Amino acid sequence: MKNGLVEMWRRKEVACGVWCYLNNDLAMEMSAAQGCDYVLVDLQHGVADIAQAIGMVRAAQFHGAHPLVRVPHCDIEMIGKVLDGGASGVVVPMVEHASVAAQLVQACRYPPHGVRSYGPVRASMLRGTMDPEVLGDVAAVAMIETVKGIENVEAIANTPGLSAIYIGSVDLSISLGIGPKMPSDDTRFIDAVATIKKACDAAGIAVGLHCPNGEVAGAYAKAGYRMVTVATDIELLKSGAKREIDAARAAVKGAA
């Protein structure tokens, strides 16, 4: 069985997803059930541990969403563990050099193409094979979030085996001196993401972006970004709760 998310990008299709910071497989399942192409477990800034992450991966797959895991850094053992647990791909943050992107790809592939240790506990069951070539077909996604990353974006994008570059909007805005915005309408940010997209298009890989809502994500998708995060579980919970509380209080106030 082929990797569905990687196949979407090979067909130049847009993947829409939800970013999960909470350590709750039911919350992830609820997100996946809404038609997400991918749902991501964040082990860098989220509160899940590795065992919880594998449970969340299973919950996403139950509804046909492709589970991704962002690891804290390019750690071979951690990457292998989440892929053995059935994740469709791995996202590595703060990539600034092609050498780190190459390490990411190596960690996702088996010899002779990489250094991943063989032990596909869940992955072999999900993919229906023990073949290392098939099991190694996973999404290797490097995040560019700094000025240094932009300076090296062409080399990063042309890393053999890299699936996509994902733009961390907030950290990139901070690195550019704009402040924490997602995404920013500042020309420095606009020019930076255009530079990243141009490099990805030239290299033939997908480019993605962290967005605050579906409207913004849709605009970037129309512009050719093929991995767009439409929301996070925390923001959906917060905004939904606030909307309903405000509506209730407005009704009480209006009746007074």
State how far the Cα of 31 lies from the Cα of 232, in Å rounded to an integer: 10
Annotated active-site residue 73? The verdict is: no
Q: Which two tokens stand for residue 181?
A: 């915005």
State how far the Cα of 244 lies from the Cα of 237, in Å rounded to an integer: 11
DSSP assignment of 40-69 equals EEETTTSS--HHHHHHHHHHHHHTTPEEEE
Q: Which two tokens stand for residue 199?
A: 């490099």
Q: 206: Cβ–Cβ under 8 A, 6 or more apart, which residues?
A: 9, 15, 163, 164, 165, 200, 226, 227
Chain-centroid distance of CA 253 in Å reads 42
Catalytic residue, candidates 45, 63, 73, 97: 45
Q: Which two tokens stand for residue 59?
A: 């919950």
Q: Does residue 82 contact residue 60 with C-beta atoms inside 8 Å?
A: no
- Polymer length of the chain: 256
State how far the Cα of 136 lies from the Cα of 51, in Å rounded to an integer: 22
Question: What amino acid positions are annotated as catalytic residues?
Answer: 45
